[in-house]
Amino acid sequence: MNGVLKKMSIVLLAIVVLGCLIFIAAKTPGLKQNYGLGKIALIHVDGVIIGGRGQSGLLSEHGGTDNIIRQLHDARDDESVKAIVLRINSPGGSVAATQEVGEEIQKVRATGKIVVASMGDIAASGGYWLAVMTDKIYANSTTLTGSIGVYMPYANWQELFQKIGIHQEKIKSGIHKDILSPDRPMTEEERKIIQAIVDQMYDQFVDVVADGRKMDRQTVRQLADGRIYTGIQAKELGLVDDLGNLYDAIDGAAKMAGITGKVQLKEYDKMNPFSMFWGANEKIDFSMLIPTQLRQTLPLTTPLAMPARWGE
């Protein structure tokens, strides 16, 4: 074959490949929708809800409510996003951090965007708090939810400290500065102070549930003794709206937002390449395994200004 025919063959091949590329591009609905309207943002609330930035790397972010708030903020400002599905898989966490995320959800709803909650394995306590801030709650029939209540953990390690010869001296600016200190028993006065704080937080929780679920406070108080409910029980009691999985929630959000056709999801969190390649939904951080275990059992060495976690 002579040179001209060889060149023509390659040019022909190039035309075929180019035509195929144009064909693929033309068949991509995402191309139009990238510049259009009608996306649903998917935001995950995984694990214990705790304030702060969590851990942020070049390609991944996890833990810390600052990340969730940033995603809500981005979804609020994104004109192409019509609705948000909050996928909750959390046993609860810090009151203040939960409240902060809840307030951001309210701000999103105030702009007219729909926010729907989809409960995973567990959406209890602080996880439920976030769910009631949304327009509609979907739960699986076996989801564990509820646990409406507040507790503040306290451990008295005085006897152990005495046995191992630790005597902690403190110079205090005020009588209650070392409240909840693990090296001495709690006084009755301190117990009253802490109980008042817990009660006030509980009242706020009840208010949030009553407002979100359109229930009267007395009914909520009857349900809010700290117990957990299955998805079916929660639906019967009016704590969730519907039973269904994540995609039922997405479809529901699309319907509420008036999105027709194929739903396009948008996520704002950075995905860990390790998780992508291994197909894991959970973002594994081996370095946090030991500290997480220790945090569950060792006493806190500084006075608590807030409950470390919600009831389990």
Partner 1 sequence: MGGFLETLYDVLFHPAAALQNIAMEKKVGQSLGAFLISIFVPAWAVYFGLQNADFPTISVIVIFIQVVGSTIFWFVGAGFFGLLAELFGGQGTAIGLLAGMGFANFPRVFVVPLIVLSTLLPGSLQSLFLVLFGSILVFWIITLHVIAIREAYVLSTLKAVAVVITPVAVMVVCGIIVAVSLGTMLLQWMPRL
The catalytic residues are: 125, 177
* Structure tokens, 19: 């035509």
Positive or negative: CA dihedral 118, 122, 127, 133: positive
User: According to the binding rule CB under 8 A, does residue 271 interact with partner 1?
Assistant: yes
User: According to the binding rule CB under 8 A, does residue 70 interact with partner 1?
Assistant: no
Distance of closest approach, residue 27 Cβ to partner 1, in angstroms: 7
Backbone angles phi, psi at 149, to 5 degrees: 165, 175
Polymer length of the chain: 312
User: According to the binding rule CB under 8 A, does residue 25 interact with partner 1?
Assistant: yes
Alpha-carbon distance of 38 to 116, in angstroms, equals 15
Distance of closest approach, residue 266 Cβ to partner 1, in angstroms: 7
Cβ contact 35:249 at 8 Å: no
Q: Which of residues 156 and 275 has its CB atom nearest to partner 1 in the complex?
A: 275
User: According to the binding rule CB under 8 A, does residue 6 interact with partner 1?
Assistant: yes
Distance of closest approach, residue 241 Cβ to partner 1, in angstroms: 26
Instruction: Name residue 228's beta-bridge partners.
Output: 146
User: According to the binding rule CB under 8 A, does residue 31 interact with partner 1?
Assistant: yes
225-264 residues near partner 1, rule: CB under 8 A: 264
134-153 residues near partner 1, rule: CB under 8 A: none
Positive or negative: CA dihedral 100, 101, 103, 104: positive
The Cα angle at residue 104 between residues 99 and 255, in degrees rounded to 5: 120
User: According to the binding rule CB under 8 A, does residue 21 interact with partner 1?
Assistant: yes
User: According to the binding rule CB under 8 A, does residue 12 interact with partner 1?
Assistant: no
280-299 residues near partner 1, rule: CB under 8 A: 289
Q: How many residues bind partner 1 (CB under 8 A)?
A: 30
33-62 residues near partner 1, rule: CB under 8 A: 34, 59
User: According to the binding rule CB under 8 A, does residue 267 interact with partner 1?
Assistant: yes
DSSP SS3 for 148: coil
User: Could you please report the per-residue DSSP string of 157-222?
Assistant: -HHHHHHTT-------SSTTTTTT-TTSPPPHHHHHHHHHHHHHHHHHHHHHHHHHHT--HHHHHH
Binding site for partner 1 (CB under 8 A): 1, 3, 6-7, 9-11, 13, 16-17, 20-21, 23-25, 27-31, 34, 59, 264-267, 271, 273, 276, 289
